[in-house]
Homo-oligomer: A and B are copies of this chain.
Amino acid sequence: MKYNKVTPEIVEELRRIVGDRNVIYDDSEALEAYSHDEVAEKEYAHMPDVVVKPTSTEQISEIMKLANRYMIPVTPRGAGSGLSGGAVPACGGMVLSVEKMNRILEIDTKNLMAVVEPGVVTNEINNAIKDYGLFYAGYPMSVETCYIGGNVAENAGGGKAIKYGVTSRYIMGLEIVTPEGDIINLGGKRVKDVTGYDLLHLMVGSEGTLGIFTKIIVKLQPMPVAKADLLVLFNSVKEAIDIVPIIMTNGKIIPTSIEFMDELSFKTSCEYLNEHLPYQNAKAMLLIELDGDSMDIIESQYETIGELCMKNSAIEVYVADNATTIERVWRIRRNIAEAWKLVSPHQSLEDVVVPVSEIPAFMEKLEQLQKKYNVSIPCYGHAGDGNLHATAVKNPDWTLEEWYDTLHKLLPEMYEIVGKLGGTISGEHGIGHKRKDYMYLVLGDKEIELMKKIKKAFDPNMILNPGKLFNVE
């Protein structure tokens, strides 16, 4: 597949479509901001030739038609907060930023849905609907910076998936510009729809390779009014994980979150925060969040869970039932990555998945990996859905070369481990640029071949976000 360079003539045509002020060209400082996402390592970055910031569906349609005519790669971009290089123009060409399409178009309280543009910051949806007593439940951890368009592209997960599911559950309709520039509509304001293949949810998680979302209909629901958190300390990873199904079966409770932190994670974070919880003897922590319609229910639930935890060998249970204490326990979880950045800014944040019951087995293998490669891999994440942020951190004694060399051996080995445990290499960050060479570790040739055929069916010239999921052939 051969792409063409962006010429000054093509830039002129782009300026005609979106207006002068919405094109960045020949300005390497301004272009650089569009060359990477939040992946720490710069080896995954790539400079675009040009950045366009369309303001309408019709402009995007024109841009895609032009790109097909000249065979220019187009990489759609949301907030750039992704963690797999999905918004990086891996083959150069054009970055299509949706940052100017950031309007909340409709809040429909009769059908409990909102219609938004892709460049809306996800949390803005919640700000706009909270006065109606509603909330959008599909939000990821980066809710205050990410765009809803990126959430749809990556099928973003987050800490609340155990109760609320992930983004796909809340996407009811999409207006899309196809790679060839056609404008299509999938789904709508309807809760059920089995009219033909479910293209709508095929688009969710397609990482900007099958189409560009221009309008998004999301489902809203009543906002829970009460909330509490439990911080539970355990002597071992196994004891911590064993409690997860017990809460749901014996306790008959589906918590909002069950977050897991291993010793490396919480100790580093607590030290960083100067937090004086008596955590010294613990080998694992769970942070369990509950939400619901009344504080009475929540109280009865956290009592049940507390008892179950103590009966099943927890060291200690702390309850946080007001804003101050809730913030105190969550900041331990939220500051793990920051705390480890002091050790080294060179890190590889993973989001592997295993069946919940296999978390202890995975943690054992992870310990072996750490010893084998002489590297720290703090591990934390969403225990309730087996989605773990194992994060290899550069050994401060190493040169960068030694680090990359190690990482390129360590990552496939970690991916192979999750594959053998019945898991997969990405639960919420996506394959993108970073993990495309490793899909074969968890998917068969036939599955990958079917995915490639689907890509080709949507994008015959292979110009939309090339170099993601698959290599350019």
Contact = CB atoms under 8 A, between A and B. Distances in A.
Interface stretch (A273-281, A352-360, A389-397): A352-360
Interface in A133-182: 133-134, 154-155, 157, 161-162, 165-166, 168-169, 178, 182
Contacts of A190: 353-355, 385-386, 422-424, 427
A455 B199 CA distance: 12
A111 B383 CA distance: 11
A195 B245 CA distance: 25
A254 B112 CA distance: 12
A189 interface: yes
B193 A427 contact: yes
**Copies of the protein in its oligomer:** 2
Contacts of A202: 197-198, 201-202
Interface stretch (A88-96, A363-371, A443-451): A443-451
Nearest to A210: B197
B193 A353 contact: yes
Given A161-B192, A195-B439, A385-B191, A446 B178 contact: yes
A194 interface: yes
Interface residues on chain A, size class: 35 or more
A329 interface: no
A111 B385 contact: no
A76 interface: no
Nearest to A455: B197
Nearest to A427: B192
A366 B245 CA distance: 48
A253 interface: yes
Interface stretch (A19-27, A120-128, A341-349, A428-436): A428-436
B195 A222 contact: no
30 contacts: A108-B357, A110-B245, A111-B245, A112-B245, A132-B249, A155-B194, A157-B192, A161-B192, A178-B446, A184-B450, A185-B447, A188-B355, A189-B355, A190-B353, A190-B422, A190-B427, A191-B385, A193-B424, A193-B427, A194-B427, A194-B428, A196-B431, A197-B205, A197-B210, A197-B469, A198-B204, A198-B205, A198-B206, A199-B454, A202-B202
Given A222-B252, A252-B293, 19 more contacts: A109-B249, A111-B357, A112-B249, A134-B249, A154-B194, A169-B169, A178-B446, A185-B444, A188-B422, A190-B353, A190-B422, A195-B426, A196-B431, A196-B447, A197-B451, A198-B201, A199-B450, A221-B254, A457-B457
Interface of A: 108-112, 132-134, 154-155, 157, 161-162, 165-166, 168-169, 178, 182, 184-186, 188-199, 201-202, 204-206, 210, 221-223, 225, 245, 248-254, 293, 297, 353-357, 382, 384-387, 422-431, 439, 442-444, 446-448, 450-451, 453-458, 469
